[in-house]
Structure 1
Amino acid sequence: MTLLIDCIDETNELAEEQMLEIERLINFAAKKLEIEEHSEVSVTFVTNERIQEINKEYRDKDYPTDVISFAMEELGEGEMELIGAEMPRVLGDIIISVSKAKEQAEEYGHSFLRELGFLAVHGFLHLLGYDHMTEEEEKEMFTLQKETLNEYGLTR
């Protein structure tokens, strides 16, 4: 199982091995969830300032957050679904604040890589339609997150 993952570090703070580990983790999650081969996803690592701009522009919330996902399969008003036999499944974009990941890793007492992995899986699940707006949804999503991270070996 292989996704096509475009990983970009706009901060230039991550080592190549850290980015590769996140790619391996997302591929692991995709296999676990039986996502179609060669589906596409992008992961961009940004500063707090950049994620705050994105959060304000798209969510009308003027503060930095840890992760934002933009699911490509959610159709907006007036948009049409494009279907074709040769078209890859484009899941969407995950944007992660490196600064927030560092802060939260320290706050929760686990490694920076574990926090990056948590945020990547969290964002990936949002791309697949999982959410945590209700207690039931939260339980399902957070259980799946924890199982995925534990099975992969990124434990607290």
Structure 2
Amino acid sequence: MSVQIEVSIQDCFWDRFVLENPEPNSSPDQSMESSPLVIDCPINETEWENWFQIWLNHLHSDLPSASSYELSLRLTDNTEIETLNTQYRSQNKPTDVLAFASLEVDCPLPPEILSSQSLYLGDIVISVETAYNQAQEQGHSLKTELGWLATHGLLHLLGWDHPDDESLTEMLNQQRVLLEIIGLVNSLR
């Protein structure tokens, strides 16, 4: 089954992302003052769209029936994601990824609407700043970390959750599968 998908991208395709206050380098020869860190964009718009197309085709059994699907991806910094995390999750701290699933709203649509219009799955917000730091800590690329976080957000949009260890393990395993099918093997998690 081939799924039609439209990916709406908001403010996330940058040539360079500047972190104004990166975490200080732990190297003793570096001063405690940190200068802005410039991160080159590892993923272009076409690649993001291809990834989501592949992932949704793989996850088609988790999708409600519709003629096509749409989602929003926003790549941002820790300041913005902390604001969202505080506002929507009452957690006053930055996080790596947030997912706002539109399918959680109990508003059934008639089959004729689903077959003729795109179904909006929701929004994924990723902090590039946190993703960069986590990639450094995990010893893999920013591209891999962004893919990892995007798969996590996508699964949440489709109703996956991890309230216990068993469901978390299942979700993490599915994320690994999704990374493998696009050629990003991540054995570090």
TM over 0.5: yes
Work out whether 1:103 is the aligned partner of 2:133. yes
Other-structure match for 2:176: 146
* Aligned-partner Cα distance in 2 for 1:27–1:15: 20
Pick closer, same or farther for the CA change 1:11–1:98 going to 2, 3 Å. Answer: farther
Pick closer, same or farther for the CA change 1:125–1:118 going to 2, 3 Å. Answer: same
Other-structure match for 1:2: 4
How many aligned residue pairs are there? 153
1:53 match: secondary structure: helix
Work out whether 1:29 is the aligned partner of 2:55. yes
Deviation at 1:11? 7.9
Pick closer, same or farther for the CA change 1:148–1:17 going to 2, 3 Å. Answer: closer
1:145 match: secondary structure: helix
Work out whether 1:20 is the aligned partner of 2:51. no
Between 86-95 and 34-43, the greater mean CA deviation after superposition: 34-43
Residues 54-79 of structure 1, C-alpha deviation per residue, up to 9 Å, x if partnerless?
0000000000000000000112xxx6
Equivalent of residue 63 in structure 1, options 86, 93, 109: 93
Gaps of 5+ in 2: 18-39
Work out whether 1:40 is the aligned partner of 2:70. yes
1:11 and 1:47 in contact (8 A); partners too: no
Higher helix share: 1
2:72 and 2:123 in contact (8 A); partners too: yes
Question: Considering only aligned residues, what root-mean-square deviation do their CA atoms show, in Å?
Answer: 2.0
TM-score of the two chains, using structure 1 as the length reference: 0.88
Segments ≥4 residues shifted beyond 6 Å: none
* Aligned-partner Cα distance in 2 for 1:37–1:29: 16
Deviation at 1:87? 2.9
* Aligned-partner Cα distance in 2 for 1:62–1:105: 23
1:89 match: secondary structure: strand
Which residue type is aligned with residue 77 of structure 2? T
Deviation at 1:37? 4.9
1:73 match: secondary structure: helix
TM-score of the two chains, using structure 2 as the length reference: 0.74
* Aligned-partner Cα distance in 2 for 1:149–1:11: 20
Work out whether 1:127 is the aligned partner of 2:153. no
* Aligned-partner Cα distance in 2 for 1:154–1:37: 29
1:50 match: secondary structure: helix
Which residue type is aligned with residue 50 of structure 2? R
Higher relative contact order (CA 8 A, sep 6+): 1
Between 130-139 and 82-91, the greater mean CA deviation after superposition: 82-91
